[in-house]
Amino acid sequence: MQVLTKRYSKNCLRNVMDRYSAVVQNMEQVVMFPSLLQDVQFSAQAGAPSLYNYFTMLKAIRMDVDHGLLPQEEWQVKEAGGKTSVSENEAAETEEGEEEDLGQLDLEAQFHLHYTSLHHILTHLTLKAEELTRIYQEITGQAV
Protein backbone atom coordinates (compact mmCIF):
# COMPACT_ATOMS: atom_id res chain seq x y z
CA MET A 1 0.00 0.00 0.00
CA GLN A 2 1.36 3.36 -0.98
CA VAL A 3 1.14 6.14 1.57
CA LEU A 4 0.62 9.60 0.17
CA THR A 5 2.41 12.36 2.00
CA LYS A 6 1.30 15.76 0.94
CA ARG A 7 3.24 18.81 1.98
CA TYR A 8 1.26 21.88 2.85
CA SER A 9 2.49 25.44 2.94
CA LYS A 10 3.59 26.93 6.24
CA ASN A 11 0.46 29.08 6.51
CA CYS A 12 -1.98 26.31 5.63
CA LEU A 13 -4.77 26.01 8.19
CA ARG A 14 -4.15 22.27 8.46
CA ASN A 15 -0.54 22.92 9.52
CA VAL A 16 -1.63 25.57 12.03
CA MET A 17 -4.20 23.18 13.51
CA ASP A 18 -1.72 20.29 13.63
CA ARG A 19 0.89 22.49 15.29
CA TYR A 20 -1.61 23.72 17.87
CA SER A 21 -2.69 20.16 18.64
CA ALA A 22 0.92 18.98 18.97
CA VAL A 23 1.94 21.88 21.23
CA VAL A 24 -1.07 21.37 23.52
CA GLN A 25 -0.42 17.62 23.63
CA ASN A 26 3.17 18.37 24.65
CA MET A 27 1.86 20.81 27.28
CA GLU A 28 -0.42 18.09 28.69
CA GLN A 29 2.50 15.66 28.88
CA VAL A 30 4.80 18.17 30.59
CA VAL A 31 2.26 19.52 33.07
CA MET A 32 2.02 16.59 35.47
CA PHE A 33 0.39 18.59 38.29
CA PRO A 34 -1.97 21.22 36.84
CA SER A 35 -2.88 22.37 40.35
CA LEU A 36 0.53 24.07 40.56
CA LEU A 37 -0.76 26.53 37.97
CA GLN A 38 -3.78 27.73 39.95
CA ASP A 39 -2.19 30.75 41.64
CA VAL A 40 0.15 31.70 38.79
CA GLN A 41 -0.86 34.33 36.22
CA PHE A 42 0.53 35.18 32.78
CA SER A 43 0.74 38.85 33.64
CA ALA A 44 0.76 40.96 36.78
CA GLN A 45 -2.54 42.64 35.77
CA ALA A 46 -5.32 42.41 38.33
CA GLY A 47 -8.01 39.98 37.25
CA ALA A 48 -5.82 38.17 34.72
CA PRO A 49 -6.76 34.49 34.38
CA SER A 50 -4.56 31.93 36.07
CA LEU A 51 -2.38 29.55 34.10
CA TYR A 52 -4.68 26.78 35.29
CA ASN A 53 -7.62 28.47 33.52
CA TYR A 54 -5.53 28.75 30.34
CA PHE A 55 -4.48 25.11 30.71
CA THR A 56 -8.08 23.87 30.86
CA MET A 57 -9.18 26.21 28.04
CA LEU A 58 -6.33 25.11 25.74
CA LYS A 59 -7.17 21.44 26.39
CA ALA A 60 -10.87 22.00 25.64
CA ILE A 61 -10.10 23.82 22.39
CA ARG A 62 -7.73 21.02 21.40
CA MET A 63 -10.59 18.54 21.73
CA ASP A 64 -12.64 20.64 19.29
CA VAL A 65 -9.71 20.96 16.88
CA ASP A 66 -8.98 17.23 16.97
CA HIS A 67 -12.52 15.82 17.08
CA GLY A 68 -14.70 18.52 15.56
CA LEU A 69 -17.49 20.58 17.04
CA LEU A 70 -20.61 19.32 18.71
CA PRO A 71 -23.75 19.68 16.63
CA GLN A 72 -25.47 23.02 17.38
CA GLU A 73 -28.33 21.38 19.31
CA GLU A 74 -25.94 19.47 21.61
CA TRP A 75 -23.86 22.60 22.16
CA GLN A 76 -26.93 24.61 23.17
CA VAL A 77 -28.03 21.87 25.57
CA LYS A 78 -24.54 21.68 27.07
CA GLU A 79 -24.33 25.47 27.50
CA ALA A 80 -27.82 25.70 29.02
CA GLY A 81 -27.20 22.79 31.35
CA GLY A 82 -29.87 20.77 29.58
CA LYS A 83 -32.54 23.49 29.94
CA THR A 84 -33.54 24.99 26.60
CA SER A 85 -36.80 26.79 26.16
CA VAL A 86 -39.06 27.10 23.16
CA SER A 87 -38.30 30.83 22.89
CA GLU A 88 -34.55 30.12 22.76
CA ASN A 89 -35.05 27.61 19.95
CA GLU A 90 -37.24 30.09 18.03
CA ALA A 91 -34.62 32.83 18.50
CA ALA A 92 -31.92 30.48 17.19
CA GLU A 93 -34.03 29.69 14.11
CA THR A 94 -34.62 33.40 13.44
CA GLU A 95 -30.89 34.06 13.85
CA GLU A 96 -30.07 31.27 11.38
CA GLY A 97 -32.47 32.80 8.81
CA GLU A 98 -30.80 36.20 9.20
CA GLU A 99 -27.36 34.61 8.82
CA GLU A 100 -28.47 32.95 5.57
CA ASP A 101 -29.58 36.31 4.17
CA LEU A 102 -26.27 37.91 5.13
CA GLY A 103 -24.38 34.85 3.91
CA GLN A 104 -25.55 35.36 0.37
CA LEU A 105 -24.02 38.84 0.20
CA ASP A 106 -20.35 38.00 -0.11
CA LEU A 107 -19.36 34.47 0.83
CA GLU A 108 -15.76 34.85 -0.32
CA ALA A 109 -15.15 37.92 1.86
CA GLN A 110 -16.74 36.17 4.85
CA PHE A 111 -14.62 33.09 4.24
CA HIS A 112 -11.40 35.10 4.16
CA LEU A 113 -12.37 37.01 7.29
CA HIS A 114 -13.14 33.85 9.27
CA TYR A 115 -10.16 31.95 7.87
CA THR A 116 -7.77 34.76 8.78
CA SER A 117 -9.30 35.10 12.23
CA LEU A 118 -9.10 31.35 12.90
CA HIS A 119 -5.49 31.26 11.71
CA HIS A 120 -4.59 34.20 13.96
CA ILE A 121 -6.38 32.78 17.02
CA LEU A 122 -4.83 29.31 16.67
CA THR A 123 -1.37 30.84 16.26
CA HIS A 124 -1.91 32.99 19.35
CA LEU A 125 -3.18 30.00 21.38
CA THR A 126 -0.19 27.94 20.25
CA LEU A 127 2.15 30.61 21.59
CA LYS A 128 0.20 30.70 24.88
CA ALA A 129 0.50 26.90 25.21
CA GLU A 130 4.26 27.09 24.61
CA GLU A 131 4.58 29.88 27.18
CA LEU A 132 2.50 27.97 29.73
CA THR A 133 4.69 24.91 29.27
CA ARG A 134 7.84 27.01 29.72
CA ILE A 135 6.52 28.65 32.90
CA TYR A 136 5.49 25.28 34.34
CA GLN A 137 8.97 23.93 33.63
CA GLU A 138 10.50 26.93 35.42
CA ILE A 139 8.20 26.41 38.43
CA THR A 140 9.11 22.74 38.72
CA GLY A 141 12.80 23.22 37.90
CA GLN A 142 12.60 21.37 34.59
CA ALA A 143 13.69 24.35 32.47
CA VAL A 144 15.32 23.22 29.26
Residue 46 lies in a domain: yes
DSSP the chain: -PPP-----TT-HHHHHHHHHHHHHHHHHH-S-GGGGTT-BSSSSTTPPBHHHHHHHHHHHHHHHHH-PPPHHHHHHHHTTT---HHHHHHHHHHHHHHHHHHTT-HHHHHHHHHHHHHHHHHHHHHHHHHHHHHHHHHHT---
Q: Among 36, 53, 68, where does a domain finish?
A: 68
Q: Among 52, 68, 84, where does a domain finish?
A: 68
Instruction: Give the model confidence (pLDDT) of 57-82 as tens digits.
Output: 999 999 989 888 777 677 667 667 75
What confidence tier does 130 reach under pLDDT thresholds 50, 70, 90?
A: very high
Q: Structural domain of residue 134, as residue ranges?
A: 114-143
Residue 84 lies in a domain: no
Instruction: Give the model confidence (pLDDT) of 4-26 as tens digits.
Output: 566 778 778 889 999 999 999 99
Look up the pTM and report it: 0.70
Q: How many structural domains comprise the chain?
A: 2
Residue 134 has pLDDT above 80, yes or no: yes
